[in-house]
Amino acid sequence: MSRVYEKIAFVASQSPEAAEAQARLVERYGNVDPATADVVVALGGDGLMLHTLRTLMRAGKPVYGMHRGTVGFLMNEFNEEGLLERLAAAEPTVIHPLVMRAKDRDGQEHEHYAMNEVSVFRQTYQAARLRILIDDKERLPELMADGVMVATPAGSTAYNLSVQGPIIPIKAPLLALTPISPFRPRRWHGALLPDSAKVTVEILDPDKRPVAAVADHSEVRDVARVEIGMDHSISMQLLFDPGHSLDERILREQFGY
């Protein structure tokens, strides 16, 4: 069912290409503050889209991306023509973010949200020594690796895929727990978890082998313990042109095109 979006807020990355596109679109379609908009149109690449989603994740605004950046997996093709019609016909995909709660070696708590993944990895040349618990039950007493990550279905084709993690269909209620260059146990390739799971990563030797935790682009260094889970209380709508939805793109990735 199509919906009419009358008030559009345009946001853009800092690239000249995105800024020029924003200026032309604002002149043609008008522009309002995101707080009063019916829909937000993001112009840039996936970095800009992730930033927009984090900024607006509690606002309940649908976001429609158009590619004016480097990587555009989360974006639609750019075209100045027929934007109102494209928005009306766009299909929504609902995603939920991960919440990362990290405690550093000084005992300070840090909380950050991620749309794609939370990564825990070594800060120095030495491999990290990590203990992994799922819902407070120990599942891996020691992982020696560059690190480990938890990825959402939306993020499963990003960093997770580059370290040989599984691709997850966008509507599957799953999280990917994926090691990053594991040394021991060598044959552990990760796990698929229900998206209700709480993953806890404890750093076993934080003084000798310091570790950082990163939620998308928000980094906490010298962590001692990291808790990761999906926050189902926050729902965000991404809009995609018919036939180019996020679930269709993720399905294509599984067949290598």
Cα distance between residue 143 and residue 87, in whole Å: 46
Q: Would you call 17 helix, strand, or coil by DSSP?
A: helix
Burial of 119 (0-12, 13-18, 19+ CB in 10 A): buried
Cβ–Cβ under 8 Å, residues 112 and 154: no
N-to-C CA span, the chain: 29
Query: How far, CA to CA in Å, does 240 sit from each of 92, 115, 172, 247?
Result: 6, 17, 18, 10
Q: Cite the active site residues.
A: 46
Instruction: For CA atoms 160, 161, 167, 169, give the dihedral sign.
Output: positive
- Sequence-distant (6+) residues with CB within 8 A of 159 are 116, 117, 119, 149, 151
**Cα 7 to chain centroid, rounded:** 27
